[in-house]
A and B are shown apart, each in its own frame.
Chain A
Amino acid sequence: MSDLQRKKELPEEKELLDRLLSSEVKAELLALFHKSPGVIDRIDGVARRIGRTASEIEADVKALIDLGILLRKRFGKSEVIYFNRNKDREIQQIISNGLKRGGGG
């Protein structure tokens, strides 16, 4: 891979990292799901686990759903949120590769 290609790819990875960690709540959500990947709960149940309210985390949950790290599904009267392990591994890999290339360059 050429240096030009490397430079071109790095900002995307950086952008991904920035989007993941753009708020304190997102970081708390990521920490929760990394420590407890088996959490399947409503938004208020997820919020309670990090000591927050549903309205406080709503926007950040949506952002993580847009990134594909969290998934949303309807069960009966409830909508539940859970972790997408495969997508998380994929994103981690992209960031890790980017950091290695960036560090090596």
Chain B
Amino acid sequence: MMTRTRTGISELDEMLRGGFMTGDSAMIVGSTGTGKTILGLQYLVNGVTKFGENGMFVTFEQLPDQICRDANNLGWDLRKIEQEDKFRLVCTSPDLLLEAHNGEHLLDEPIRQIRPQRIVIDSLSHLEMYVKEGELRKEAYRLIMYLRTKGLSSLLTWESHQLTGPTTGLTEKGLSFLVDCIISLRFVEIESSMRKALVVLKMRGSDHDKRLREFEITSEGIKIGAPFSQYEGIMSGVPRKSWTEETISGWTKAFSGKP
């Protein structure tokens, strides 16, 4: 039986039937502001604090101290776990991740220092700017294979350009088959307000929950709620109330004239 790497977000672990498969690569896809970075950080912080697994967060942002500040607002002290050598926040340029010299990779040294079991790359979309058209898939594959060879359970984020709607951009780039699991985070407009939905689109070699679940970013991180059972068409970005048995029964009663 395959071992699982739990995210520590109980509802998500249930959806994944126990967590990601250990050593696999998963991708979180979503537009800006959906919570990809927070989900990645929560996965790593929970790894350290709940499961005793060290983690590394690789970011291409210019100022990573902002990540520490935002994490602090959610009650996660990244500086503390970094000082304890349980966590590393690596900040670099995307193209450097693709280079190697004499068999040595940029991440070899920080991996040697803290021996992480989990890694988050935020985000793979940045590589697009540095590789020739049509080579993204090959380079992403090389990076994923490197992480797998190191025995890391990896989470890669991917920014989709559309705020709502059916497209993730992953299939067009040919990336969806490279990863073992895909989680999509998306905005949905329901009754004139923007809500957030999470769905596991793919999980290689395992059953998973296929339902869309609502989630929120709270002061303690991501909290996943109930499925959007009364709506359909959520993936299209234009949800509508579904004709549930309850609704149909209500209409039947109304037209039959019976109380």
Cβ of A102 within 8 Å of any chain B Cβ, yes or no, is no
Within 8 Å by CB of A38, from B90, B100, B101, lies: B90
CA distance A93 to B105 in the complex (A): 32
Knowing A48-B62, A49-B62, A75-B106 are in contact, say whether A39-B91 is a contact too (CB < 8 A). Answer: yes
CA distance A40 to B91 in the complex (A): 6
CA distance A48 to B194 in the complex (A): 36
Min CB distance, B7 to chain A, in Å? 23
Secondary structure class of chain A's binding surface, majority of residues: mixed
> Given the complex, which residues of A lie within 8 Å of B96, measured CB to CB?
40-42, 75, 78, 80
Number of interface residues of A (CB under 8 A): 17
Cβ of B63 within 8 Å of any chain A Cβ, yes or no, is yes
Secondary structure class of chain B's binding surface, majority of residues: mixed
Query: Are B99 and A75 interface neighbours, CB within 8 A?
Result: yes
Cβ of A36 within 8 Å of any chain B Cβ, yes or no, is yes
Q: Could you tell me which residues of chain A, from 44 to 86, have a CB within 8 Å of some CB in chain B?
A: 45, 48-49, 74-78, 80
Query: Are B89 and A38 interface neighbours, CB within 8 A?
Result: yes
Min CB distance, B121 to chain A, in Å? 13
Query: Are A76 and B99 interface neighbours, CB within 8 A?
Result: yes
Cβ of B180 within 8 Å of any chain A Cβ, yes or no, is no
Cβ of A35 within 8 Å of any chain B Cβ, yes or no, is yes
Query: Are B106 and A40 interface neighbours, CB within 8 A?
Result: yes
A42's nearest neighbour on chain B, judged by CB, is: B93
Query: Are B100 and A36 interface neighbours, CB within 8 A?
Result: no
Min CB distance, A38 to chain B, in Å? 4
> Given the complex, which residues of B lie within 8 Å of A49, measured CB to CB?
62-63
Pull 13 A–B residue pairs with CB atoms less than 8 Å apart, ordered by A: A36-B65, A37-B89, A38-B64, A38-B91, A39-B64, A40-B106, A41-B91, A41-B93, A42-B96, A75-B100, A75-B101, A78-B96, A78-B99
